[in-house]
């Protein structure tokens, strides 16, 4: 069976005085594995990872547990077991496992992922505003509930609606500066954008389930986009034009009585960065364990990896520090803005650009089929409003009343 993810042994910088006894024992057990034992654990991890990616979380959990019984200090397997049990709502075990990953391989990329996941759990576990029903009993927010929302709080206003996460007010530097690997003028000049008020953004790209609910409810012009044989459900909806995306947010607004919309370009870059000034929210390098893209190619001096050749479920990979998934890669996402060749005269308040080439709109984030350079937070792609393909979807935003 082909591996999707490599579960290499940890490269530990062990500090025995600081590590607890159980961790030392697990490191010793993993370090003493025979080649046959290591290969057996690797096969179990690869199968479990494929089950995890397919959405069969219970089978994935059992597979990871079996593999970790052989190779208990494999940090990658511990991380994906944490991801698995979190999707089963076992947040307590997920936290334990994320902390274990950090202890096993501190100051590494996978430890950074675990730290981001812990932050997201800290924001989402108690993060439903007082009086707001959980998603299984979702209702439209009352004015009082809406005013009580805080950054990282989440809500869902109908059973088929996207889960929304509150983003903080604040400022950031939008765009990029000239570097050897960036020469496009449309990412300049770098400029400050300030968001005076909090707003909410979909935790995930809109899924096929969510789109199909719109069409079944008489919205979205009844359009049923093809899934290219990759399945529907929790897969991100694809073959969506800008015009199609606008019919979805119009349906959401009618259904809830609230203002749902596409993100502006500035909002999309702001929430992607989540406070970071680097090319990606986790730093300046990228690997196939962090995002879904064509990892046959590298960015700067980063590694090559597995090219998956298709989009993955929207809750794959780790969320960024503000709780949003796959803001880099998987599917590129439409924004509201009209295209202009640069940021001269761009809005400084986070609102969308409404002048320029308005029959062409901007997508952000890059996709599973893109080179890694296209996944940078500052990267812009212009497309005609009627354009559809297998790598284009969208995410929604919602204004928050105060």
pLDDT the model gives residue 126: 38
What is the reported pLDDT for 55?
A: 74
Q: What is the pLDDT of residue 4?
A: 44
Q: What is the pLDDT of residue 89?
A: 82
CB atoms within 10 A of CB 58: 11
How confident is the model at residue 214, as a pLDDT?
94
H-run or E-run covering 193: strand 191-195
Q: Which CATH class is domain 129-402?
A: alpha beta
pLDDT of residue 203: 96
Domain 21-124: homologous superfamily in CATH: Tetratricopeptide repeat domain (1.25.40.10)
For the chain, give every domain's residue range: 21-124, 129-402
Per-position DSSP letters for 276-323, written without gaps between them? --SSBTTBS---TTT--S-TTS-STTPPP-----S---TT-S---TTS
* Ordered per-residue pLDDT tens for the chain, 402 residues: 333 466 765 444 444 334 467 888 889 999 899 989 998 999 999 898 888 877 788 888 999 999 999 999 999 999 999 989 888 888 889 999 999 999 998 888 788 888 888 888 776 533 333 334 333 334 789 899 999 999 999 999 988 899 999 999 999 999 987 665 555 678 999 999 999 999 999 999 999 999 999 999 999 999 999 999 999 999 999 999 999 999 999 999 999 999 999 999 999 999 999 999 999 999 999 999 999 999 999 998 889 999 999 999 999 999 999 999 999 999 999 999 999 999 999 999 999 999 999 999 999 999 999 999 999 999 999 999 999 999 999 999 999 987
Q: Which residues of 189-228 are buried (b: 16+ CB within 10 A; e: fewer)?
A: eebebebeebbbbbbbbbbbebbbbbbeeebbeebebebe
> What is the reported pTM?
0.71
Question: For 398, phi and psi rounded to 5 degrees?
Answer: -150, 135
Neighbour-count burial of 19, counting CB atoms closer than 10 A to its CB (0-12 exposed, 13-18 middle, 19+ buried): middle
Q: Count of CB atoms within 10 A of residue 183's CB? A: 10
Beta bridge partner(s), residue 191: 174
């Amino acid at each position: 069976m082909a591996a999707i993810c490599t579960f290499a042994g940890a490269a530990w910088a062990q500090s025995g005085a600081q590590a607890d006894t159980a961790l030392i024992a697990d490191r010793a057990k993993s370090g003493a594995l025979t080649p046959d034992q290591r290969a057996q654990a690797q096969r179990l991890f690869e199968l479990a990872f494929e089950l995890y990616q397919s959405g069969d979380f219970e089978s994935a959990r059992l597979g990871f547990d079996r593999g970790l019984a052989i190779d208990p200090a494999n940090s990658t397997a511990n991380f994906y077991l944490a991801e698995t049990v979190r999707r089963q709502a076992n947040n307590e075990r997920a936290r334990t496992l994320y902390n274990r990953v950090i202890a096993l391989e501190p100051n590494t990329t996978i430890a950074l992922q675990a730290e981001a996941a812990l932050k997201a759990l800290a924001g989402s576990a108690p993060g439903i505003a007082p009086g707001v029903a959980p998603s299984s009993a979702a209702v439209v927010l009352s004015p009082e509930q809406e005013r009580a929302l805080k950054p990282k709080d989440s809500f869902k206003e109908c059973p088929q609606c996207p889960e929304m996460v509150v983003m903080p007010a604040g400022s950031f530097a939008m765009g990029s500066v000239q570097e050897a690997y960036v020469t496009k003028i449309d990412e300049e000049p770098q400029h400050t954008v300030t968001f005076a008020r909090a707003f909410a953004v979909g935790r995930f790209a809109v899924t096929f389930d969510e789109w199909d609910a719109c069409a079944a409810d008489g919205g979205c012009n009844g359009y049923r986009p093809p899934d290219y044989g990759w399945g529907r459900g929790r897969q991100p909806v694809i073959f969506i034009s800008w015009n199609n995306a606008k019919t979805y947010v119009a349906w959401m607004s009618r259904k809830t009585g609230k203002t749902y919309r596409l993100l502006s370009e500035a909002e999309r870059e702001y929430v992607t960065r989540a406070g970071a000034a680097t090319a990606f929210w986790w730093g300046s390098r990228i690997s196939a364990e962090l995002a879904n893209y064509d990892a046959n190619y590298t960015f700067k001096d980063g590694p090559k990896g597995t090219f998956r050749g298709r989009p993955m479920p929207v809750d794959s990979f780790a969320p960024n520090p503000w709780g949003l998934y796959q803001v880099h890669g998987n599917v590129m996402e439409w924004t509201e803005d009209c295209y202009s060749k640069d940021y001269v005269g761009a809005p400084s308040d986070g609102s969308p650009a409404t002048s320029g080439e308005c029959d062409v709109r901007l997508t952000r984030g890059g996709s599973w089929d893109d080179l890694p350079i296209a996944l940078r937070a500052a990267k812009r792609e212009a497309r005609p409003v009627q354009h559809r393909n297998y790598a284009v979807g969208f995410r929604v935003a919602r204004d928050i009343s105060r």
